């Protein structure tokens, strides 16, 4: 048995609530039970990665693209990213402002490594993507926790944000503010006016704004997505995005940081990120060439993403409707991504909290979802709505019987 003293302090920070019930789920599966797993947001499990992306990957392998690449990414992909932002959002930028990473996950690691000293802080909004927290904490950082307000369709509460910025301004320890748009877990797409207010505040307090836009093309229910690059003139900002969701290629493990700004800090941060990149030599080589091709192949991409978004809209709306028919839960209708984040009415249930809810639901009904407290918002649960409707239907029926059985 390994003694605790053998482990670093930071090793204890490494956790992911989305996976925390996996051991129980595996045990149930070994007992021959059929577990419905609605915990992990992996589109490639349910939507086959498009053929034009797979073919590009095969071509990269066939032409021997199996070597280390430039640590910050192959020029083809960096240029394809710059072109994508020009095409989608009218941004004038160039390949030099792009750093290719091993997923947005590595981008988070690299940014916190680059920015955070012990005692520094990042402003996050709850509910947040859970992995933002451990990547801050392993470098000794802490959070200033703001809210997306459920009563206001999960939009940023800018009044509270302003008060908080005023309070923390003197300490000079706040290094960045991080938003997720479209949001995981709520599916919110932030309005242009909200983004403008956030940008104005970042400007006023001279804060780096990080916008995780990994779901930027997975938008529906008539919503219009605005990228931070369309409103963020003047400030130092970074956009995170990648192959996982828009290109339905989670297993490529590819992402990027785009830092287009000419702000005084941007150049220094980009250079530090590049130095970090040299330590891990390179991201996945064939994947980079494939992603570059896929990004440039507008026609095929439009076809694939169009079909996927249509289906996601239908699955997400189906789950939301079914959930909202229950007297035990209520969810704001999502506008993007593929999650729904209902509030559970615990006053009607003889269950203590969201942790007991998801744990007992898995053991009794074999449906695996994630507790809201894992996203910083107790009293909710997150349901991934990627599976086909028959599976979602069966899961919601099981959740409903579970709630009835535990009704007070």
Residues at the interface with ligand PLP (CB under 6 A): 41, 103-105, 129, 180, 184, 212, 214, 242, 244, 250, 255
Nearer to ligand PLP, 155 or 184 (CB): 184
Least CB distance to ligand PLP at residue 325 (A): 27
Minimum distance of ligand PLP from residue 103's CB (angstroms): 3
Length in residues, the chain: 408
375 φψ region: left (φ > 0), alpha (ψ -120 to 50), beta (else): alpha
Closer to ligand PLP by CB, 60 or 104: give it: 104
Pairwise CA distance, residues 264 & 102, whole Å? 27
Asked if 15 contacts 134 with a C-beta cutoff of 8 angstroms, the reply is yes
Rounded to the nearest whole angstrom, what is the least distance from the CB of residue 290 to ligand PLP in the complex?
15
Q: Computed from CA positions of residues 311, 181, 190, 137, in that sequence, does the dihedral angle turn out positive or negative?
A: positive
Q: Shortest gap between Cβ of 3 and ligand PLP (angstroms)?
A: 32
Beta carbons within 10 angstroms of residue 307's beta carbon: 12
CB 370 within 8 A of CB 316: no
**Phi and psi for 54 in degrees, rounded to 5?**
-60, -45
Q: In the complex, what is the shortest distance from the CB of residue 330 to ligand PLP, in angstroms, rounded to a whole number?
A: 23
- The smaller minimum CB distance to ligand PLP, of residues 215 and 402, is found at 215
State which residue, 256 or 328, has the beta carbon closest to ligand PLP: 256
Residue 338 and residue 245: Cα distance in Å, rounded? 10
| Cα–Cα distance list, 326 to 182, 330, 334, 344, 378 (Å) | 26, 8, 17, 10, 19
DSSP assignments along 256-292, one per residue: EEE----SHHHHHHHHHHHHHHHHT--S-HHHHHHHH
**Nearer to ligand PLP by C-beta: 156 or 351?**
156
Which is nearest to 340 in space by CA: 307, 305, 372, 374?
372
Token pair of 383 as six digits:
């349901």
Phi, psi of 380 (to 5 degrees): -120, 170
Q: How far is the CB of 56 from ligand PLP (least distance, A)?
A: 18
102 vs 373, beta carbon nearer ligand PLP: 102
Smaller CB separation from ligand PLP, 16 or 152 = 16
CA angle 40, 42, 48 (to 5 degrees): 145
Least distance between ligand PLP and beta carbon 212 (Å)? 5
Closest residue to ligand PLP using C-beta atoms: 103
CB of 108 to ligand PLP, least distance (A): 7
Is the CB of 214 or the CB of 361 nearer to ligand PLP?
214
Rounded Cα distance, 353 and 349, in Å? 9
């Amino acid at each position: 048995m390994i003694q605790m003293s053998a482990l670093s302090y930071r090793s204890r920070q490494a956790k992911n609530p989305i996976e925390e019930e996996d051991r129980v789920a595996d045990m149930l599966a070994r007992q021959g039970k059929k577990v419905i797993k609605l915990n992990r947001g992996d589109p490639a499990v349910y939507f086959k990665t498009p053929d034009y992306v797979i073919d590009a990957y095969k071509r990269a392998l066939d032409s021997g693209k199996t070597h280390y690449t430039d640590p910050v990414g192959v020029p083809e992909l960096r240029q394809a990213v710059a072109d994508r932002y020009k095409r989608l959002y009218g941004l004038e930028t160039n390949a030099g402002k792009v750093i290719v990473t091993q997923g947005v996950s590595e981008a988070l690691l690299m940014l916190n490594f680059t920015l955070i000293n012990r005692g520094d802080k990042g402003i996050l909004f709850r509910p947040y993507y859970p992995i933002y927290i451990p990547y801050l904490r392993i470098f000794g950082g802490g959070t200033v926790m703001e809210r997306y307000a459920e009563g206001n369709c999960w939009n940023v509460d800018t009044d509270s944000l302003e008060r908080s910025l005023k309070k923390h301004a003197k300490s000079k320890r706040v290094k960045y503010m991080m938003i997720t748009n479209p949001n995981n877990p709520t599916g919110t797409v932030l309005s242009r006016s909200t983004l403008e207010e956030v940008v104005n505040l970042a400007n006023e307090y001279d804060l780096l704004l990080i916008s995780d836009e990994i779901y930027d093309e997975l938008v529906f229910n008539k919503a219009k997505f605005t990228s931070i690059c369309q409103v963020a003139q003047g400030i130092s900002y970074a956009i995170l995005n990648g192959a996982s969701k828009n290109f339905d290629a989670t297993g490529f493990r590819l992402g990027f940081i785009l830092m287009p700004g000419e702000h005084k800090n941007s150049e220094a941060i980009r250079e530090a990120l590049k130095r970090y990149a040299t330590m891990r030599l390179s991201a996945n080589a064939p994947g980079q060439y494939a992603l570059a091709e896929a990004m440039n192949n507008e026609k095929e991409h439009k076809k694939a993403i169009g079909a996927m978004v249509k289906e996601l809209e239908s699955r997400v709306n189906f789950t939301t409707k079914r959930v909202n028919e229950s007297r035990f839960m209520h969810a704001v209708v999502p506008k993007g991504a593929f999650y729904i984040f209902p509030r559970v009415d615990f006053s009607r249930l003889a269950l203590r909290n969201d942790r007991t809810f998801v744990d007992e639901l898995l053991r009794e009904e074999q449906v695996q979802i994630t507790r809201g407290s894992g996203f910083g918002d107790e009293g909710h649960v997150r349901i991934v709505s990627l599976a086909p409707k028959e599976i979602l239907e069966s899961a919601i029926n099981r959740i409903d019987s579970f709630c009835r059985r535990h009704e007070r």
